[in-house]
Structure 1
């Protein structure tokens, strides 16, 4: 009798378990632009954070320039030169799409709102620009870490040894903005990173000669709130200053060509970044 009861109870438990709705699958996306960028770029979950950008054609000022890089090659940039001679420079770093017309427009926006600052949007893909996420995945997978560093060093050298730098970038470029600030050493005066992968190595963060403004989205599944908090903690351990602003928004919320553009959050973030950059690039 006891055996029959246990068997019946087991069958009932199994039946109730079968009736219970399945828990939704939780997909973990690696931290945006993590240590292995190639593997991350191949992750379809990561790619889905990026809606294909709306078509946009830039019709403003500025010129494409070429500069030498330490690896014996050359690189490109989109330059908006200060109206009067100036040692103040803003380096602008692209999203994973490449140096497209949207980035040129963002560069011009900072150029118009800052006081006599040279603005250089750096081409990190050597001329390649994606309009579809599938192409952006390929370009980011192919981005060689050494080449990226060489391009940043070339841009810094192009501005000259007396240049004072601030940097800004979004997503892939947010990560590069922080790396660029470390490469610029004592020439670095400011760094703005929009939802890019934070450097978490405390020893590397100790090399920063500037504070950092970090702008993130609390709904971002690529750059989690936890990873941002870890960045804050590691900056404190490194003895560095960082200001973090979290918006109730998704990844790439500040890109006006993004169908998921959050106008209110983007405008506030821009005002915050502009005030920061004006303070760091004072005459």
Structure 2
């Protein structure tokens, strides 16, 4: 009974959200805008010291880059950038990798390289720079960077990467935390070119009227936490079901950020299992 009630509430909320966002004019004739779930929703957590405490400063480690930084034009007139590892042979298969709130640091580049190697070097891997060059290991500064993001600029970065990959590109997405949320947002922005999305403990979009446009299923790899909570994840699952989309997910008995090897709270066993699920998912997408 509780599940049915929650299911009905999600559909009703989504319908009302769509109605007020698109069909209700103000007296001046302008459209009302509403807050949506997903990436921007996480900004509300930045004033909570406990959320900050979930993100201890990453440990330093040795890293030798095999890829290169590239730039490409965006619609707003400002170039976007990313860390690119090109496939060994020409390929229309791409994996977009999305950073944690620290920025495009060595950990994300290393994760990009790991996926590249384990996919046999057959997929172009591009880790997008969502902060336009800003990187930090300080939690407070990371929160400032995340708070200072502009949603339209972030969308332009994703769309610029889409153009860079080309109109024939088949693109999957993966990201962690801030980037986990953007993995799903990217999947929506990519339209028919999207072939998959992996969310590592990121805040998911839960509007049915948006999720119906997904061109793929989704893999969710979540942590045990109170922010991107079990309730939020179950709402997401019901919204995906209502949208007619497939979601496979697991809530690991581990803290937020468990899959980051440079995190002091890194959980090796959970990381191994989650990565195995992620790799298997991508191998099927890039078969």
TM bin (shorter chain): 0.7 to 0.9
Question: How does the TM-score come out when normalised to structure 2?
Answer: 0.85
Report the equivalent of 2:86. Answer: 81
Question: How does the TM-score come out when normalised to structure 1?
Answer: 0.86
In the aligned structure 2, how far is the partner of 1:114 from the partner of 1:281?
Answer: 8
- Measured after TM superposition, the shift of residue 130 of structure 1 is 1.1
Say if 1:42 and 1:141, in contact at 8 Å, map to a contact too.
no
In the aligned structure 1, how far is the partner of 2:62 from the partner of 2:184?
Answer: 28
Say if 1:215 and 1:244, in contact at 8 Å, map to a contact too.
yes
1:222 aligns with 2:208: no
- Measured after TM superposition, the shift of residue 36 of structure 1 is 4.4
Please, which runs of 5 or more residues in structure 2 have no aligned partner?
Answer: 1-36
1:138 aligns with 2:134: no
1:125 aligns with 2:150: no
Say if 2:39 and 2:178, in contact at 8 Å, map to a contact too.
no
Report the equivalent of 1:169. Answer: 175
- Please, what is the CA RMSD of the aligned residues? 1.5
Say if 2:40 and 2:151, in contact at 8 Å, map to a contact too.
no
1:190 aligns with 2:193: no
In the aligned structure 2, how far is the partner of 1:225 from the partner of 1:37?
Answer: 16
- Structure 1 segment 89-104 matched on structure 2, within 5 A: 89-104=94-109
Report the equivalent of 1:53. Answer: 58
- Measured after TM superposition, the shift of residue 170 of structure 1 is 0.3
Q: 1:238 aligns with which of 240, 243, 250?
A: 243
In the aligned structure 1, how far is the partner of 2:268 from the partner of 2:127?
Answer: 23
In the aligned structure 1, how far is the partner of 2:237 from the partner of 2:277?
Answer: 18
The residue matched to 1:52 in structure 2 has which SS? coil
The residue matched to 1:199 in structure 2 has which SS? coil
1:202 aligns with 2:201: no
In the aligned structure 2, how far is the partner of 1:96 from the partner of 1:61?
Answer: 23
Deviations 1:92-138 (A, max 9, x none): 00000000000000000000011300000000000000111011011
Report the equivalent of 1:275. Answer: 280
Say if 1:37 and 1:140, in contact at 8 Å, map to a contact too.
no
Please, which runs of 5 or more residues in structure 1 have no aligned partner?
Answer: 1-31
- Measured after TM superposition, the shift of residue 276 of structure 1 is 0.4
The residue matched to 2:190 in structure 1 has which SS? helix
Bigger Rg, which one? 1
- Measured after TM superposition, the shift of residue 34 of structure 1 is 5.7
